Amino acid sequence: MIRRCSTARAGASFTEPTHGPFGLLHAGHYDPGRVDAVVQLGRETLVEGRPFTAPKNTLRDGAVMRAMLASLRGFARSWLASPSPGPGTLVYESDAAGLRTWIRVPDRAALLTAPELTTIGFFGQLRDDVDHAPIHQLETAIVETLEEVPGLLSYYNLELPQRRFGNLILCAAPDVPVRWRAHDLHSLAVALAPRHYHSARLHSGTVRSQLLGDAELVVLRTRYYDFDSDPPWLAVRA
């Protein structure tokens, strides 16, 4: 197992190119304004031709996010038992199967003392015929700049079997995701999503206790994006 726990920032820098893979910012990128309509899904609705919207997948994502929350709680207890210098923490480790855990906390005290947590979960269905290095580079830059979004408490990326990844972001208040969407690098990642993903599930939720409390993560709403449609197809299930 490779593990790194640090109080330093991620240390990468990012410069937006004007051509190459990022050229789709100027043609064919994701633009929320191009969505024709938002489809409202019932709890048990099955959408023909869009299996990524199946309720069972949402339930599976929820289980993964709750496992990630439990893992983060374990890390937090270790930080309290053995405090490290500096306000933040970076964890980068791989398990026996080579699957990566990547966590960045800009301010441990802020994460531990937030009365309740607003959660964001992202699970995308990757394309097989695309070089994903640009989006990975961009993710590193986003993780490096978490401090620029007040109230963004932690970023957790978990590698799953079969080339899947889950992201769990914890925030101090429900309005923090709105501010994060306005962040330049996050906006760029949204624009690039159709090049790298067939589809995606974006979960909004809450933990109604402090991180080290006993409340579970509850998914309140899920947005489903089909980037193979033109214009992109969007549905919501609450």
| Domains in the chain: boundaries | 21-237
DSSP category for residue 128 = S
Tokens representing 199 are 């589809």
Three-class DSSP category at 171: strand
pTM score of the predicted model: 0.83
**Adjacent-strand bridge partners of 154:** 170
On the question of pLDDT at 112 being above 70, the answer is yes
How confident is the model at residue 36, as a pLDDT?
64
Of the candidates 197, 186, 117, 115, the one whose C-alpha atom is nearest the C-alpha of residue 146 is 186
- Segment 33-61 mean pLDDT: 90
Contact 10, 90 (CB under 8 A): yes
Q: What is the predicted pLDDT for the residue at 234?
A: 96
Residue 53 has pLDDT above 80, yes or no: yes
At 87 the pLDDT is 93
Cα-trace Rg, the chain: 18
Q: How high is the pLDDT of residue 130? A: 86
- Which pLDDT band, with edges at 50, 70 and 90, does 4 fall under? very low
Mean pLDDT calculated for residue range 139-148:
88
- Which class does domain 21-237 fall in? alpha beta
pLDDT digits (tens, 9 = 90+) for 77-98: 999 999 888 899 999 999 999 9
pLDDT in the model for residue 1:
37
Helix, strand, or coil here: 110? helix
**Coil, strand or helix at 52:** helix
